[in-house]
Amino acid sequence: MRNKPATIKEISQLLKISVSTVSRALHDHPSIGLTTRQKVRKLADELNYEPNQTAIFLQQGRTLTIGVILPELSESFFSSAISAIEDTAYKRNYTVLLAQSHDDEHIEKQLVEKMKNHRVDGLLVSVGKNTSSYQHFENLKKYNIPVVFFDRIPAMQNIHYVACNMEIGTIEAVSYLLKKGHRSIGMINGPATLFASGERKEGYIKAMTKNRLKFDPSLIVPCDLTEEGTKAAMNELLASKRKPTAVVTFNDYVALFAIKHATDLKIAVNKDLEFVSYANLPLINYMESIPSASVEQFPYLQGQKAADILLDLLWHKHQGVDEQTAYYKIIIESQLIENNRTDAGRSK
């Protein structure tokens, strides 16, 4: 066996028939006689023929490939999403071209360019947190390459996206704590620049007003998400007049820092001070001192929905449906999950 894969042309020559006949035979085209069809099949098998997709891509103008650009592949949230995307793509016979931007706008731009060159049929993107200009995404529209954003959505008009609204989850979280009798609930929030911080704050406030309680702004302290910042935020909360008996933290990392700090201060976690967080980490289930509940953001689901939407768009495009002007805007509501360890694998 030679090292170059067999081609249709070779088959056609060996069989002394035309390439078009071979091509059609391999596609079970009705206009090809049974005998030739069988001959072709047989020889193709013997030669281990495999269609050269790059040639087909060129011919058909599509690659059955979707590009995925994410900030950081090793983050648990994104790797869950990727897993979902790959699963969905696989089911519909698409392949995934993957790249990470490391939250660097310049790299992100390059990657979009590269994906365009590779002629991916569509793109799935979670925008880097430093990205401020969205021109590179606008360009894609001109070329009619569909893009679906998820989780981190750019501030653009007329885009498709899937995102998780933290507000409801936050309301649930705060209500959960209120129901358990807490009357002074602290929140360690993220930096004010993040959209997600706003949602959490809104949720907190709504939960309070819904329960006819006064909202004390000093109980929400921002934090830069580092261990130091978390400690500082904790100290601020603990020094507060209305010393909280429960804390909602921006994410699991912050929660762990806070819990650690509380433990150091001899505070009995979830007794003297109860914690609720947002689920970023897969194995919170395995740990001892963990938030008593978490707001789930459904990374797998987000990835899956985003991929589904993109593949639908591609399908319609391929069917020649006119430029459609409707935009998918899917909001997944976050949801509070109590952390009794018996329910496994909630993120999937």
Partner DNA sequence: TTTTATTACGCAAACGTTTGCATAAACTCG
Partner DNA sequence: CGAGTTTATGCAAACGTTTGCGTAATAAAA
Q: Which residues contact DNA by CB under 7 A?
A: 4-5, 7-9, 16-21, 23-24, 26-27, 29-37, 49-52, 55-56, 58-61
What residues contact residue 109 under an 8 Å CB cut-off, 6+ apart?
136
Binding mask 90-129 for a copy of itself (x = CB under 8 A): x----xxxxxx------x-----xx-xxxx----------
7: contact with a copy of itself by CB under 8 A: no
Chain-centroid distance of CA 26 in Å reads 38
Least separation in angstroms between residue 96's CB and a copy of itself is 5
| Alpha-carbon gap, residue 112 to 108, rounded angstroms | 6
Closest CB to a copy of itself among 138 and 202? Answer: 138
Contacted entry of a copy of itself, DNA, none for residue 87, CB cut-off 5 to 8 Å set by kind: a copy of itself
| Alpha-carbon gap, residue 329 to 320, rounded angstroms | 22
State the alpha helices, DSSP H only, in the chain.
8-15, 19-26, 34-46, 53-60, 76-91, 105-117, 135-142, 166-179, 195-210, 227-239, 252-264, 299-318
Identify residues 236-265 at the interface with a copy of itself (CB under 8 A): 253, 256-257, 259-260, 263
How buried is 322 (Cβ within 10 angstroms: 0-12 exposed, 13-18 middle, 19+ buried)? exposed
Give me the amino acid identity at 83.
S
Least separation in angstroms between residue 55's CB and DNA is 3
Contacted entry of DNA, a copy of itself, none for residue 94, CB cut-off 5 to 8 Å set by kind: none
R_g of the chain computed on alpha carbons: 27
Identify residues 29-68 at the interface with a copy of itself (CB under 8 A): 48, 50-55, 57-58, 63, 65
Closest CB to DNA among 21 and 304? Answer: 21
Tokens at 198, concatenated: 């706003």
List residues binding a copy of itself (CB under 8 A): 1, 3-5, 48, 50-55, 57-58, 63, 65, 72-76, 78-80, 82-83, 86-87, 90, 95-100, 107, 113-114, 116-119, 139, 142-144, 253, 256-257, 259-260, 263, 281-283, 286-289, 300, 348
